Structure 1
């Protein structure tokens, strides 16, 4: 091996060793977020801990699971999350490739003469060219790390989007079933008012009731019919909301919904035995915020490293052939170099400004991360309070519903016997209708609180959960955050 080649290879080896020993500038420090040591809201008891990744399958209503699967398949939110995930994968690939040498194949052919003396000649060559920016100060590695962190965050965000779509669909379905339950009650009430108006009208014609009483009964019947029409419209709107979420044809959806009409679905209960710090690890949005903070830290390191010298190395090897008249010459042509060192001297403060901007983004990411932690704790605590509240109110609401219903039936019997006035009957009717509506709203509110808690707990996501296994809808197949 010739001396120049030995010298070039020795230089490359020295630079490679320097690259291995060099480290990126230390990342900025962040003040740790304060997380409560324990929950301050009552925890639900007697719950069953199960796989929450597809918790909606544990509802006693298979239609809900089918609707959620359909909604996830067509959700633009999930499609956007998937697109961001694929973009992050491509960015990570590009950032990793920047650390390695490039290799290009080249081929050329020329025919001509370069001066008046040289005869006509044909020159051809084919070979390889390589270039490498040696990552001595860690700028490339910091860029690769930032891309990796953002990829992991994008994978967690895909899970978060999946959970959000499931919760949105479940709440829409719950609203429809509660509306149908209210519709049954409203229809019964409207029929009762209409029958009372009919009987009162007959009594008035016979002279047993004054005209004012007949007018009151007709007004009550008209009001009941109006409430019934409004309730039906509300239920139709709820159906159309599900059509928009699931992209199922409305006729087919109504047929699918017919079996469980007016039945509020009941989920499997959840048991929480962990402290807030552990629960936060289950939330993909918190994980994404933490990864974004790590990526911002790597961006700062990369911006700092770009203020330091850059070292690049190039080389080539090719097979060449020259034809001059009847003479042909061929051989291998190669080179190692140049080895170039670029030292920033003056850039009008551009690189320093890039560092300041990266640091500002890091401070922003740190603030958002701390806020996300506080929000996560808040959402779980609020869901727990709501669950405890609905549980405490349920028995009283049930007793009130039964009591007012019995009172109405008794007053109705007295009215038919001529022992109670129409005013007493309408007052008892209003109380019974209001009590039953309150009980239905309370049932809907409790199930909604379970859905909120499910979402607040991260929807069953765990670090390392494969994206493809978390849901069977049209999602990416890249594994693990």
Structure 2
């Protein structure tokens, strides 16, 4: 409550002193008698059974929260300067990160707003008036009086936070801000991983396109041979038709890859905040290096997943809001103070014109609200239970994603080795079939069959090779990023 000049009948100094002492005793009794009532329930993070080790990697140790640690420039482990440049653009231009940053700034401002309630609200006020007092006034009747009045002073209003309503509101908003900070980290990591994944897909398409370019050239040479042999009456029309179909099919696949590459390139442009019309990445057959993922990586990095940190801090905020809802069952007590100067003429500021007021100490206690407070408390508890379940699911999903990445990396290593062997064998079979055809030892069906098998094996080898890079990106993302020392 704000101060204002006293009007009406004056009280004696002794009466004011007794009133102040009685008010102080009321506050002390309330503070010591009810201040011990805990409105904030103890924070208990949901217990989740964690494995002693990952099934597909040794070296697991218990993790401790560390989402604040630097994720590092993990993409540099792929040793590709074009990828480095693309990731650098993510922080500079993408609207997705700008929106996440704005949400974080808003949460910080909301936390500052709640913290402001922990301090007194101080107002500076002043007024000037000129008035005529009636001769029939109730106090001091007499002749009419025309008087000036000038008031200048400071007023203070402060809520005594005995039950923790303000403190718990601050806890909740602070945890919300920390959750938004974790969400910002999560959005940045997600964008970086998405750009890296799309870039690897683009290079996989480039590698396949170059393979098809070589294949089309080889098929064209073979078709020219078949055409010459057909015109000379050596090759049949069936052989000629098979050769033409093989060549046309390879050219069609090449055109399809061009459209696929353009779509991937456009998606990268959108993620880095560029216009698809003016954005381009030059085609190249880039052999990407794979980052080294040491055995101790899960124990060091799973703890840094920003989505787990976000879920945990939202749980802290929900727990604090239970305390806010509980505090509504207790009275709200506010203290007002005022001081200043009041005069009818200059000088305004002097020892004689000063005044002060302690109080009022006001108390508001709701007796009946139709069950509103109990309903709000039930809502806050239900919100906590929901977020606790979300937290458990987030952690379980994290373990699943890491296990998926580790098992897939293990499987792809063997698959890549065997697929290279298959591609080399299919290429030898293609050459042998073409030689046999030239020597008249086989028909062209054997050649086309060998060519189809060789192309399929080479394409599969390219797919597996780049899938290893994509899986490494997914694993790094599942682990919450990596520091330069990790990669």
**Alignment TM-score, normalising by the size of structure 2:** 0.85
Whether the 8 Å CA contact 2:329–2:373 is kept in 1: the answer is yes
Cα distance, 1:141 vs. partner?
0.7
1:125-175 Cα shifts (integer Å, max 9, x gaps): 111111011001111111111111111111111111110000000011011
Q: Does 1:168 align with 2:194?
A: yes
Which of 11, 16, 20 is the aligned partner of 1:8? Answer: 20
Distance 1:70 1:17 in 2: 62
1:17-59 Cα shifts (integer Å, max 9, x gaps): 96596464241656422222221224599xxxx9742101222
Q: Does 1:303 align with 2:325?
A: yes
Distance 1:122 1:98 in 2: 37
Q: Does 1:405 align with 2:427?
A: yes
Counting matched residue pairs gives 449
> Which residue in the other structure is 1:133 paired with?
159
Q: Secondary structure at the match of 1:269?
A: coil
Distance 1:274 1:163 in 2: 17
> Which residue in the other structure is 1:25 paired with?
39
Whether the 8 Å CA contact 2:95–2:273 is kept in 1: the answer is no
Gaps of 5+ in 2: 1-12, 61-68, 136-142
Whether the 8 Å CA contact 1:320–1:330 is kept in 2: the answer is no
> Which residue in the other structure is 1:394 paired with?
416
Comparing 330-339 with 162-171, greater Cα deviation is found at 330-339
Whether the 8 Å CA contact 1:56–1:65 is kept in 2: the answer is yes
> Which residue in the other structure is 1:106 paired with?
125
Distance 2:170 2:320 in 1: 9
Report the structure number with the largest CA radius of gyration.
2
Cα distance, 1:9 vs. partner?
7.5
> Which residue in the other structure is 2:447 paired with?
425
Q: Does 1:76 align with 2:95?
A: yes
Distance 1:19 1:291 in 2: 30
Matches within 5 A, 1:323-472: 323=345, 331-460=353-482
Comparing 341-350 with 36-45, greater Cα deviation is found at 36-45
Distance 1:36 1:17 in 2: 52
Whether the 8 Å CA contact 1:44–1:388 is kept in 2: the answer is no
Gaps of 5+ in 1: 462-481
Whether the 8 Å CA contact 1:309–1:343 is kept in 2: the answer is yes
Comparing 199-208 with 32-41, greater Cα deviation is found at 32-41
Cα distance, 1:6 vs. partner?
8.5
CA change 1:209–1:274 in 2 (3 A) is closer
Distance 1:443 1:411 in 2: 27
Whether the 8 Å CA contact 1:320–1:332 is kept in 2: the answer is yes
Q: Secondary structure at the match of 1:128?
A: strand
CA change 1:288–1:348 in 2 (3 A) is same
> Which residue in the other structure is 2:296 paired with?
273
Whether the 8 Å CA contact 1:15–1:136 is kept in 2: the answer is no
> Which residue in the other structure is 2:272 paired with?
246
Cα distance, 1:279 vs. partner?
4.6
CA change 1:130–1:151 in 2 (3 A) is same
> Which residue in the other structure is 1:467 paired with?
none
**Alignment TM-score, normalising by the size of structure 1:** 0.86
Comparing 240-249 with 333-342, greater Cα deviation is found at 240-249
Distance 1:95 1:19 in 2: 22
> Which residue in the other structure is 1:479 paired with?
none
1:173-217 Cα shifts (integer Å, max 9, x gaps): 011000000001111112222222222112111211122221221
